[in-house]
Structure 1
Amino acid sequence: MGCACSGQKQAKNSGFYKIKPNTQFTHSPNNTVSTKQQSFFYPQMEAICPSKRETNSKFCTSKYTTGLHRDFKHLVCRRGEWCLAKSISTGDEGYIPSNYVARADSLEVEKWFFKDVSRRETERLLLAPGNKPGTFLIRESETSKGSYSLSIRDHDQQQGDVVKHYKIRCLDKGGFYISPSTTFSSLSELVKYYSRYYKNTQKVAIKTLKEGTMEPEAFLQEANLMKQLQHDRLVRLHAVVTKEPILIVTEYMVNGSLLDFLKSDEGGKLKMNKLIDMSAQIAEGMAYIEKKNYIHRDLRAANILVSETLHCKIADFGLARIIETEYTAQEGAKFPIKWTAPEAINFGTFTIKSDVWSFGILLTEIVTYGRIPYPGMTNPEVVRCLDQSYRMPRPDDCPVELYDIMMMCWRQRPEERPTFDFLQNTLNDYFIATEGQYEMQP
């Protein structure tokens, strides 16, 4: 959330005052509101009130950092409207508007604070060309004296760019809040807190393009694919930064990857029924991908993310792509061998059925709490063994019925492997299908 700041604000550490924001023209280093007016202030000035010789004004004996007008000779000195400024470096004197001066410990020195700005003027400023969604300012409330309003530029799919206003309420014993559940001792703390959250509601994860790992075009293609695939079991895309550095902004999953979570103390305590439930959630997400005619090509526990409520979502679409029936990988393409189906290893041929094979391997990761598939075997050994129809034996503590599902996923002929829709339904009904008959009577 970038703020709309205004005027020049040069601080002098030893000064008691700073330049007050100009409430008519704004600019921000991040999300910009600009007027293209050239600034006419010099930094590091010592200001003296023009009424110094006439009254005991509070400005008369104080020093503060401010600026000097380039054409100060042409300004008219008016009591209460201008201050005589003296240059610290040159000793030159000149007049500046007194409304550009504020106490260093006041709200008016904050770049996001606009004191006397109406709701209508706020919307005009925030909707000015150059501002982006997330640009904000805080102003005094027009209707509630002593209260404030937070105004933020946002984008609505139906209405386009809009400005949303939030009432900042004051606590009886001091402090502020927008939501009663979260209070702050100062407006600065409130701004700092809400600036950490996308659209002021949730944390986000930032995926960056590391140099040499992927071409920018491929990275953006992944983001475009995520934008097209929207489902509760897929990590949601929020935004993409297409200029350097290229970034993908997605929803934040507190527990990280399923692989790491299964190896944690909390994950290691999960019972079989929860492990089956997680498997069903992943199958549900893959059933959606299957329905949309896409393939993932990198389905494994490391690419599944886990929320705070232990909901699983499929992530990392770096190898995913839309297909007609099958896809042949380019020569030299790299794939995780232990999760890859034999036809994909040998011929580079990928279909949704090769994802089904990978799902079977993923099931072994889940029931073994993150153990590497084919334990003790190297990648070349795995390839040779698969050519001889080798299949991993049933892991310890893995129910026979679940191992049967794995073996269905590992059938040699791709067309004989089940669909993800079938796998989703089977895993959802797993405990119903495997439990014994009810007793007829007590």
Structure 2
Amino acid sequence: MLCLSDNTIQSIFCCCCSVQKRQVRTQMNLENDGDSSEEYTWHPKQLSYVSAHKNRSNRVCVQPSQRKPLPPLPQGEDHGEKIRVMALYDFLPRESCNLALKRAEEYLILEKYNPHWWKARDQTGKEGLIPSNYVTEYKLTNLEIYEWYHKNVTRNQAEDLLRQESKEGAFIVRDSRCLGAYTISVYSRMRRNDEVPIKHYQIKSHDSGQCYVSERYLFPSIPELIEYHQHNAGGLITRLRYPVGSMGNCLPATAGFSYEKWEIDQSELTFIKEVGKGQFGVVHLGKWRSHVLVAIKAINEGTMSEDDFIEEAKVMMKLSHSRLVQLYGVCIQQKPLYIVTEFMENGSLLHYLRERQGRLRRGMLLSMCQDVCEGMEYLERNSFIHRDLAARNCLVSATCIVKISDFGMTRYVLDDEYISSSGAMFPVKWSAPEVFHFNKYSSKSDVWSFGILMWEVFTEGKMPFAKESNLQVVEAISKGFRLYRPYLAPMTVYEVMYSCWHEKPEGRPTFAELTQVLTDIAETG
């Protein structure tokens, strides 16, 4: 069949909702030989959307009695909404307006300036701005305050984490594929010849409102259920001996370095080494104020509409999600212009796949697609179009989480060839028909590109349509031909990527629907 991509190196998951059936009536080739095609119908399964996973390093659950209480609010002060929170991570002030956070301590939220930066008060009465993703509301019913809870970790990620721990009774609690439901994943080798030493138990709800794993043992809350099973197996393969509380030691990225700080002084940047070359120029590993690791992208003169991009950068900085490479700001005082972003240690997804051919399990490949889909669902929800989604434009963190980079950047490329269906630089092989015919972009054209990205992942970095020219690809796609099923992709996975390639945008699923279906596949195998 038809099958290409590019070598560009860049550093830098129930509430069942009804999903309409879609008829996909393009010609489909299931095998590599390119001879057969058939009518194909995709019926997305009903699943809930699960928001993106958030790293939680060095978490500690401390009982309220062990903490010094917060001071009372001064009389007569109007602080608006006041919420008690617990810090999930340490945070060092970056500006005079910031307040330091210490992991596991309580704080009072005085005001929410925006979704990403809140005004808080500590136990001594000091006040300042803190990143909202570094804290969580302090309630005994809030699972985020417990070290065993991992929000939105996939089944495959949970299994990898527990295998690394490799201790009898090591466990985590994670979000289930049903909205509002949870799963206990536990490691045990107590059964001989058991090829799967990790068991997954769904926490169920009783008619009485209590929760349980084994119906003989009912509990008012999940923390109480976990506490019981830490001392008694009670129907589980083993008791929950070791809570696993870390997916890595990386702190989450903040939306900018501080509140509304989008312009960065170049003197605050330290250039360490060149790590690659992007579409616009050289990419360096560096540090901001000598302690925050960053990627610094130089923008060569004449390659970008700089004034337009600077205005858009102020908006892009407000996009903050655990599956997006965070934009910290831009340096505009002198040429070249620099874009400063979160640094991703494992480089581009394309390079990562090619370097590890034959060593990545199918579950890990599916997790990569889930990561990207969650980030794209966030962009879709915020009406932001990527326009150039591909494995080369996704990056891999030190903990092997995939994040989307360079979203929206193609709007500012000055080279007309990049946005022309006849130009060699135009990513035709990742583009939907309405893009290469009418230059019409939407979240649904991003969905088409996501299907190609899934194909890249499950071929471990092969180039789509490798032997065809751009013109040949346009002609083939217009006639209804599509990429073949990769050897590593089960039919359920191929059905998902194929659904992204409906000839009409309205026939393609949304990223929210794709997230639900991929989560179902991951949970059910």
Q: Using the alignment, how far apart are the partners of 1:392 and 1:423 within structure 2? A: 19
> Residue 212 of structure 1 corresponds to which residue in structure 2?
302
The CA deviation at 1:414 is 0.9
Q: Using the alignment, how far apart are the partners of 1:221 and 1:286 within structure 2? A: 22
Q: Using the alignment, how far apart are the partners of 1:389 and 1:254 within structure 2? A: 39
Q: Do the aligned residues in 2 keep the contact of 1:205 with 1:250 (CA within 8 Å)? A: yes
Q: Do the aligned residues in 1 keep the contact of 2:421 with 2:436 (CA within 8 Å)? A: no
> Residue 410 of structure 1 corresponds to which residue in structure 2?
501
Q: Do the aligned residues in 1 keep the contact of 2:420 with 2:426 (CA within 8 Å)? A: no
Residue of 249, 263, 267 corresponding to 2:354: 263
What amino acid is aligned across from residue 251 of structure 1 in structure 2?
E
The CA deviation at 1:397 is 2.6
Deviations 1:135-166 (A, max 9, x none): xxxxxxxxxxxxxxx998655365789xxxxx
SS in structure 2 at match of 1:294: coil
Q: Using the alignment, how far apart are the partners of 1:335 and 1:222 within structure 2? A: 22
1:380/1:205 CA distance change after superposition, 3 Å: same
SS in structure 1 at match of 2:368: helix
- 1:379 maps to 2:470: yes
Q: Do the aligned residues in 1 keep the contact of 2:458 with 2:489 (CA within 8 Å)? A: yes
SS in structure 1 at match of 2:317: helix
1:219/1:398 CA distance change after superposition, 3 Å: same
1:218/1:318 CA distance change after superposition, 3 Å: farther
What amino acid is aligned across from residue 427 of structure 2 in structure 1?
P
1:243/1:392 CA distance change after superposition, 3 Å: same
Q: Do the aligned residues in 2 keep the contact of 1:223 with 1:248 (CA within 8 Å)? A: no
1:351/1:193 CA distance change after superposition, 3 Å: closer
- 1:367 maps to 2:458: yes
Q: Using the alignment, how far apart are the partners of 1:331 and 1:380 within structure 2? A: 8
SS in structure 2 at match of 1:207: strand
Q: Using the alignment, how far apart are the partners of 1:155 and 1:361 within structure 2? A: 45
> Residue 236 of structure 2 corresponds to which residue in structure 1?
none
Q: Using the alignment, how far apart are the partners of 1:193 and 1:381 within structure 2? A: 43
- Tell me the percent identity: 40
> Residue 480 of structure 2 corresponds to which residue in structure 1?
389
Q: Using the alignment, how far apart are the partners of 1:152 and 1:431 within structure 2? A: 40
What amino acid is aligned across from residue 393 of structure 1 in structure 2?
Y
Residue of 375, 379, 389 corresponding to 1:285: 375
Q: Using the alignment, how far apart are the partners of 1:412 and 1:429 within structure 2? A: 25
Q: Do the aligned residues in 2 keep the contact of 1:281 with 1:424 (CA within 8 Å)? A: no
> Residue 295 of structure 1 corresponds to which residue in structure 2?
385
Instruction: Kindly report which structure 2 residues correspond to 1:344-359, keeping only aligned pairs within 5 A, or say none.
Output: 344-359=435-450
> Residue 123 of structure 2 corresponds to which residue in structure 1?
none
> Residue 433 of structure 2 corresponds to which residue in structure 1?
342
SS in structure 1 at match of 2:444: helix
Residue of 398, 408, 422 corresponding to 1:308: 398
Deviations 1:299-322 (A, max 9, x none): 00010010010011111124467x
Residue of 314, 329, 338 corresponding to 1:247: 338
Q: Do the aligned residues in 2 keep the contact of 1:258 with 1:303 (CA within 8 Å)? A: yes
> Over alpha carbons, which structure has the higher Rg?
1
Q: Using the alignment, how far apart are the partners of 1:152 and 1:413 within structure 2? A: 48
- 1:432 maps to 2:432: no
Q: Using the alignment, how far apart are the partners of 1:330 and 1:336 within structure 2? A: 9
Q: Using the alignment, how far apart are the partners of 1:411 and 1:208 within structure 2? A: 38
The CA deviation at 1:219 is 3.5
1:351/1:153 CA distance change after superposition, 3 Å: closer
> Residue 319 of structure 2 corresponds to which residue in structure 1?
229
Q: Do the aligned residues in 2 keep the contact of 1:304 with 1:312 (CA within 8 Å)? A: yes
> Residue 276 of structure 1 corresponds to which residue in structure 2?
366
Deviations 1:75-129 (A, max 9, x none): xxxxxxxxxxxxxxxxxxxxxxxxxxxxxxxxxxxxxxxxxxxxxxxxxxxxxxx
The CA deviation at 1:212 is 2.1
> Residue 18 of structure 1 corresponds to which residue in structure 2?
none
SS in structure 2 at match of 1:349: coil
Instruction: Kindly report which structure 2 residues correspond to 1:328-339, keeping only aligned pairs within 5 A, or say none.
Output: 335-339=426-430
TM-score, normalised to structure 2's length?
A: 0.43
Q: Do the aligned residues in 2 keep the contact of 1:353 with 1:417 (CA within 8 Å)? A: yes
Deviations 1:253-281 (A, max 9, x none): 0011101111114x651111001001001
Residue of 274, 280, 287 corresponding to 1:197: 287
TM-score, normalised to structure 1's length?
A: 0.51
1:368/1:331 CA distance change after superposition, 3 Å: closer
Q: Using the alignment, how far apart are the partners of 2:488 and 2:503 within structure 1? A: 25
1:152/1:368 CA distance change after superposition, 3 Å: closer
1:338/1:200 CA distance change after superposition, 3 Å: same
1:303/1:385 CA distance change after superposition, 3 Å: same
Deviations 1:362-395 (A, max 9, x none): 0010011111111211111000101111111112
1:332/1:364 CA distance change after superposition, 3 Å: closer
1:400/1:152 CA distance change after superposition, 3 Å: closer
SS in structure 2 at match of 1:305: strand
Q: Do the aligned residues in 2 keep the contact of 1:238 with 1:250 (CA within 8 Å)? A: yes
Q: Do the aligned residues in 1 keep the contact of 2:349 with 2:394 (CA within 8 Å)? A: yes
The CA deviation at 1:422 is 1.0
What amino acid is aligned across from residue 216 of structure 1 in structure 2?
E
The CA deviation at 1:406 is 1.1
1:217/1:331 CA distance change after superposition, 3 Å: farther
> Residue 50 of structure 1 corresponds to which residue in structure 2?
none
> Runs of 4+ in structure 1 displaced over 4 angstroms?
150-155, 157-161, 329-334
Q: Using the alignment, how far apart are the partners of 1:318 and 1:366 within structure 2? A: 22
What amino acid is aligned across from residue 382 of structure 1 in structure 2?
V
1:359/1:331 CA distance change after superposition, 3 Å: closer
Q: Using the alignment, how far apart are the partners of 2:406 and 2:271 within structure 1? A: 29
Q: Using the alignment, how far apart are the partners of 2:311 and 2:422 within structure 1? A: 20
Deviations 1:152-190 (A, max 9, x none): 8655365789xxxxxxxxxxxxxxxxxxxxxxxxxxxxx
> Residue 133 of structure 1 corresponds to which residue in structure 2?
none
